[in-house]
Chains A and B, each alone.
Chain A
Amino acid sequence: MHLAGQNLWGLDPLSLSRWQFGLTTVYHFLFVPLTIGMVLLVAIMQTAWVRTNDEKWLKLTKLFGKLFLINFAMGVVTGIVQEFQFGMNWSDYSRFVGDVFGAPLAMEGLLAFFFEATFIGVWIFGWGRLSKKVHLMTIWVTAFGVWMSAYFILAANAFMQHPVGFDINVAKNRAELTDIGAVLTNIVALNQFPHTITASIMFAGGVMIAVSAYHLKRKQYLDSMYTGLRFGLWSALLGGIGTVISGDGLGLAMVQTQPMKMAAAEALYRTSTGYNASFSLFSWGTPDGTSEIFSVRVPYLLSFLSTHTLNGTVEGLNDLQAQYVHLYGAGNYMPVIWLTYWSFRWMIGLGMLAMLVAVVGLILTRKGRVNLPTWTWNLSIWAAPLGLLAISIGWLFTEMGRQPWLVFSLMKTADGVSPGITALDVLISIVVFTVIYGVLAVVEFKILRAAIDAGPDVLVAEEHTDADQLTVAY
């Protein structure tokens, strides 16, 4: 009995695998940004403590270090699923690009991941067993590992957006690596990396703001939490500014490498220049998605975003479609326009809101002011997910905007799925992952909430009784 490739209740392995990859990736990346951003903030706070010997920095390091760790474990266990899925669900993709794509993944493992996993263990259990300076070093080494890890993964992803440094081996029907330097300095990776890092710092800042606000609202731990609040506000603002600047660079790289994605981001059907290359704040198209009915537009802005000149030319969807048919054969080369268009706007809008919270917060709480009305504290607590939402939606834009390609210009998504798996297999795995991930989300939230509730002082008190044990850190 062999069911490979067969459908089940109208579901096929391809669309199920796409859903599974989408769900598990979005879920995985709920944890990654906090890891990337918070590891830096914790390292800075611990440095401040070692430098000044001021206990409030120790309290902050411990509290946010704990949140960082709770979150880190989730990133690790959900990350294994990501690596396995390339082979499990996308084996034809793995066969086709493994020679190129596998290299940055293996480098990530050997160069970065071992690093972070090892040193984070030492950091967790090293309180009191290592000298202050050596212990401080371990968090910086962890941060270095986390960031390198992010770079290699983004380089692998960049190959899918803009393949470079390879040749096609026709006999073996696969892409083969010819220049590892080109893969690691892919223009998309070089721009995606600072964008990811800064957005993550912005979000980590948002979390610090929310946690500090939570305690300040209750008028407790005022000293350490006010410092935490200001530190979070500055991190969110600086991270946000960095996100805007790096996003601009990424946009230019995108126009250069994947013009169809930019055209879809703008729902720009006809190639436009200068005044006509306007940025629409709102747009409504015909149901078949080939033309526009109504929109609200800022003239010149799209031209400026895409080319950094006021009278640049931006290629439209219809022209690109015609070009691609000519280049790659008959087919629909447009991504889902409404999704790409709106995800691009929501990403920017939510990111801007997160920055606005930081700016307003910095003004309201300057010079030690913490006597604010409760609703302002509540607002800043509820604003915490803004940065994360912007990041998730930004990835949806990046990956959905790449469709119908799996690897731009080389392989379509439909051609990458594993030929041997059945719809039932994937349905089982989707259900298993959804149930496990769902339960974990609830437990995770509960534990984070409890750690936040407990406040910064408990952890520091534990420090003195526990120096010699391997107990409470987890």
Chain B
Amino acid sequence: MKRRQFIAFLGGAVALWPTWPRAQEARPVIGFLNSGSPEQYKMRVRAFFQGLGAHGYAEGRNVSVEYRWALGRYEQLPALAADLVRRRVSVIATTGGNPAALAAKAATATIPIVFQVAVDPVQAGLVASLDRPGGNVTGVTNLNLEVGPKRLELMHELMPNATDFALLVNPASRFVAETLSRDMPPAALIFGKRLHVLRASTERDIEAAFAEIARLKAAALIISPDSFFTDRARQLAALSLQHRVPAAHNREFVEAGGLMSYGGNLLEVYRRVGEYVGRVLKGEAPRDMPVQQAATVELVINLKTAKALGLSVPLALQGRADELIE
């Protein structure tokens, strides 16, 4: 009898060997909110997914992405953001500037948001402080607003004798426009330049702006960081060549034929955004993730455009450039 009981006990112990049930998780969804259009942002989006992949997530395999492109029309951003919130995405990645980030922040206080902006997030009202964002918002800044004066300086180096420069802003991106309009003219004065601020929110505005530049006889144009302008890189480049106005903007602009680009390496920035999104998906809270800044700032000069514009790029500037397109 004892023997039988013992064997029964053994059998029971083996049968009760725990098999852990696999937890079935719902696949997370990333809301990708961008002020621009897909074509121009292709490389950056790829960098974003590179960063996401560092945490083991791949689109289609274990995460899905809902894209919302405002196509340069910022007034649509709040509606697009609300739509993403309604779909109950796991995290919203807003790329392409602070209008998208602000729209997302206004739309939800619970869904985590990871932004990519050119502004100072604290001043723009996105986070409480850089090292402790608080709330549900965090992200990466690309310093493009900060380097505004530097762009002036570089342009000044190119054209030391000019007297008038122009600055193109997009009033739809209110914070950027206001900050630049306020800070750039005094900075330009230091270099002995008068800075004319021009506004454009649509394609037609851009053409009008260039006409104005011609009228003002401005020697060069600084284009403010803005996704609408990024979208219109080709148009801006073409107009710049057409009106023979050297302009400085971002990499897409230079690749499209513009003269100069100075600013954070956006591919790196987007990669960092992707990494942050990965971490949020893994469970980290944005309130504990400090805002990152772009680690590298690059100068890209299109020598072909320079020749077309009849400019000779000084050796110092060439030496300083991180990339020269010929």
- Report whether chain A binds chain B: no
